[in-house]
Amino acid sequence: MFASNRKTLLFAGCCSLLFIVALLAGQASLAQAGSPAQIPTGSIPTVTGTPVGALVIVIDNDQGFVNLRAGPSTVAYDIVGVLVVGQQAPAIGRSPGGDWIEVAYPGVPGGVAWIWKDLVEVRGNLPVIEPPPTSTPAVTATIDPTLAAQFLVEAPPTRLPTYTAPAPYVSPTMPSDAPAAVPGRVPMGLVIIGLAAIGVLGTLISFLSR
């Protein structure tokens, strides 16, 4: 009987001890959850943007691209590359007249090229830059005078006709066909007029005698 009671008390004591340990563990976890989180004391780096310099943006055009040249001229400098519509390029400077813009263009001698200002939108202020020297041909073309003389054709001089003045113009005179009047002779016209008058007078007398 006594041994049975002793086992019962021992079992009850063990259960009570486990209950107390569990209760203490639960309070510790609740206390840890209610405490504020630890705030780091280290410095937080700030992000700053890198300032962007002047640039150009190719505007829309019929070709869809623009040519880049080695210098500010379409005659004295060759084409070294292209930029398509909407493409951007860092702008370096402008020509003394302001018509051309120098841009960074890697892959060409010097890493720069020139573009016409009306084909791009310029953003930013640009300094004036002197254009590069024009390229000179390595060999200057010369003409061999001996060879050129073979293709020269000399045309013989043509003598112009001499002018000879015509003979003076003489107007011919036509002789008169009318017979000359003979002195003492009655003119034929007067005879005709007289005969006509006699005829009219005879007709008048015949008309009155009826």
Each residue of 126-158: pLDDT tens digit?
999 999 888 655 456 677 777 777 777 777 777
HSE value, Cβ hemisphere, 13 Å, CA-based, for 163: 1
Tokens representing 160 are 């112009």
Confidence grade of residue 25 (pLDDT, cut at 50, 70, 90) = low
Sign of CA dihedral 184, 186, 187, 190: positive
SS3 76: coil
Residue pair 139/164 in contact by the 8 Å Cβ criterion? no
Average pLDDT in the 188-200 region? Answer: 77
Average the pLDDT over 166-184 and give the result. Answer: 65
115 and 92 Cβ atoms separated by less than 8 Å: no
Mean predicted confidence (pLDDT) in 96-125 = 93
pLDDT bin (cut points 50, 70, 90) of residue 49 is: very low
How many angstroms separate the CA atoms of 124 and 51, rounded?
12
Among residues 50, 132, 47, the alpha carbon closest in space to that of 90 is found at 50
pLDDT classification of 50: cutoffs 50, 70, 90: very low
Instruction: List, in sequence order, every residue forming a beta bridge with 123; answer none if it has no partner.
Output: 55
**What's the rounded Cα separation, in Å, for the pair 45 and 135?**
52
Q: Looking at 70-184, list the stretches that DSSP marks H as alpha helix, in order from N- to C-terminal side.
A: 145-149
Question: pTM for this one?
Answer: 0.43
Least confident of 17-26, 77-86, 96-105, 144-153: 17-26
β-sheet bridge partners, residue 38: none
| H-helix segments, 110-180 | 145-149
Q: Which of 125, 121, 65, 134 is nearest to 94 (CA)?
A: 125
- CA 203 – CA 210 distance, rounded (Å): 12
Measured from the Cβ of residue 189, the count of other Cβ atoms closer than 10 Å reads 8
Helix, strand, or coil here: 39? Answer: coil
The yes-or-no verdict on residue 46 having pLDDT over 80 is no
| pLDDT (0 to 100) of residue 38 | 54
Percent of the chain with pLDDT over 70: 66
- According to DSSP, the residues that pair with 94 across neighbouring strands are 101, 128
Strands 79-84 and 88-94, sheet pairing: unpaired
Average pLDDT in the chain: 76
pLDDT at 201 (0 to 100): 78
Choice between 118 and 165, residue whose per-residue pLDDT is larger: 118
